[in-house]
């Protein structure tokens, strides 16, 4: 296609609508790296995208493009110990010493920054995997500041987390918090390929597409091949325990709309059981939840070529319904 002057102006306008932001983490050590993607139109709302364990926010560019095309501003950062934040601070797999709410509080800081730039707009969260855990922690702490939330690839009780946490705590108490014992990671997540007998990379549980698997394994901003500190892994298990049961659900504002999505071949969500476990906790405490489970799909439903547009449109439809 020939690029006219008008096209060049449009391209330039879109490029100028990307803000890069940096702010001090809740851990008082790291500078968190974030981005705000703004559509070249009147925005209808803001979506803050919260990525998962061992990855980074640019793995969601397809979703970000779809959301901005639908008229939503999108904000995202790379968590402490992850992605560009880890690269700039030289803290791969090290989340600091501020405890299991660190990432959630960082997301609240990003929200404050975004709303200073773009005030008075409806505000939504989308969180995938560990990002869904962070989102659930956020909902229980700052839920009254939200218009709605989508949790993707979540679970109720994470298999074996309490038992592994006890082992990690012993190592931390022995002064090994800043060391990395790979056996703890194996104990916590090494079972996830249990339904994939021909697994070679070890990340096949995320998606059946070998190109997605290879991309995840070789991405220099992913922490797939990098160690996670014992203290960080312990904080991860404590993050999960903060969002369990009706005790957690009772802290979430009862009028907050929630969309809970995942795949029934996702080991994190216990092949569907864990997804419905979370929905049931919320329903039992008076919340209204829309739940959609995609049959035959693993952890990253948004990275399957045949359904990612449908998954993303479902998120957009959920938000658009609220705004009508």
Select from 68, 141, 133 the least CA-distant residue to 319: 68
Query: Which of 134, 135, 137, 131 lies closest to 123 in space, CA to CA?
Result: 135
Can you give the CATH number for the domain in which 102 is found?
3.40.50.1820
Q: What are the backbone dihedrals phi and psi of residue 12, each rounded to the nearest 5 degrees, phi first? A: -60, -40
| Partners of residue 151 on adjacent β-strands | 127, 260
Q: Is 258 left (phi over 0), alpha (psi -120 to 50) or beta?
A: beta
DSSP for 58-85, please give it. GGGHHHHHHHHHTTEEEEEEEPTTSHHH
Quote the domain boundaries for residue 266: 12-157+245-323
CA distance 92 to 80: 8
Which position has the token pair 């009028």?
255
Q: For the segment 108-156, what is each residue's pLDDT rounded down to a tens digit? A: 999 999 999 999 999 999 999 999 999 999 999 999 999 999 999 999 9
Per-residue pLDDT, 6: 39
User: In the chain, how many domains are there?
Assistant: 1
Judge contact between 103 and 141, C-beta under 8 A. Answer: no
Strand order in the sheet with 72-78: 18-24, 31-37, 72-78, 45-50, 123-128, 148-152, 258-263, 289-294
The whole-angstrom separation of Cα 65 and Cα 210 is 23
Q: How many CB atoms lie within 10 A of CB 28?
A: 10
The pLDDT assigned to 10 comes to 41
Q: How many residues does the chain have?
A: 324
In a domain, 96, yes or no: yes
pTM listed for this prediction: 0.95
DSSP class of residue 125?
E
Match 């990307």 to its residue by tokens: 18
223 within domain boundaries: no
At residue 239, the pLDDT reads 98
Whether residue 283 lies inside any domain: the answer is yes
Average pLDDT over residues 220-246: 95
pLDDT in tens, 58-89: 999 999 999 999 999 999 999 999 999 999 99
Q: How many Cβ atoms sit within 10 Å of the Cβ of residue 118?
A: 17
Residue 168 belongs to a domain: no
Model pLDDT for residues 48-59, shown as the tens digit of each residue: 999 999 999 999
pLDDT over threshold 80, residue 13: no
80 touches 25 (CB < 8 A):
yes
Domain membership flag for residue 274:
yes
Q: Is pLDDT above 80 for 195?
A: yes
Tell me whether residue 272 is in a domain.
yes
Give the CA-trace dihedral at 200, 206, 212, 215, to 10 degrees: -70
Whether the Cβ atoms of residue 264 and residue 139 lie closer than 8 Å to each other: no
Asked whether residue 38 is assigned to any structural domain, the reply reads: yes
Q: Does residue 319 sit within a domain?
A: yes
């Amino acid at each position: 296609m020939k690029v006219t002057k008008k096209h060049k102006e449009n391209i330039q306008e879109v490029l100028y609508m990307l803000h890069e932001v940096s702010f001090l983490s809740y851990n008082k050590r790291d500078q968190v790296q974030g981005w705000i993607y703004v559509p070249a139109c009147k925005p209808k709302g803001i979506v803050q995208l919260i990525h998962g364990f061992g990855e980074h926010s640019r793995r969601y560019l397809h979703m970000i493009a779809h959301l901005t095309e639908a008229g939503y501003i999108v904000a995202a950062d790379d968590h402490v110990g992850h992605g560009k934040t880890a690269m700039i601070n030289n803290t791969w797999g090290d989340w600091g010493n501020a405890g299991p709410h660190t990432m959630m509080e960082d997301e609240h800081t990003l929200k404050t920054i975004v709303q200073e730039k773009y005030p008075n707009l409806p505000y939504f969260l989308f969180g995938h995997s560990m990002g869904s855990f962070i989102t659930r922690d956020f909902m229980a702490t700052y839920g009254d500041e939200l218009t709605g939330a989508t949790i993707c690839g979540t679970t109720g009780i994470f298999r074996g987390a309490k038992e592994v946490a006890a082992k990690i705590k012993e190592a931390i108490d022995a002064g090994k918090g800043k060391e990395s014992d790979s056996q703890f990671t194996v104990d916590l997540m090494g079972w996830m390929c249990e339904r994939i007998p021909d697994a070679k990379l070890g990340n096949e549980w995320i998606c059946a597409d070998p190109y997605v698997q290879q991309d995840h394994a070789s991405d220099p901003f992913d922490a797939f091949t990098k160690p996670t500190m014992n203290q960080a892994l312990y904080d991860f298990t404590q993050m999960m325990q903060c969002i369990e049961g009706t005790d957690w659900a009772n802290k979430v504002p009862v009028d907050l709309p929630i969309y809970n999505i995942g795949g029934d071949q996702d080991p994190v969500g216990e092949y569907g059981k864990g997804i419905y476990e979370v929905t049931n906790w919320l329903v039992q405490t008076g919340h209204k939840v829309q739940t959609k489970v995609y049959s035959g799909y693993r952890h990253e439903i948004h990275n399957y070529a045949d359904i990612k547009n449908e998954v993303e449109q479902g998120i957009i439809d959920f938000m658009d319904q609220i705004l009508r």
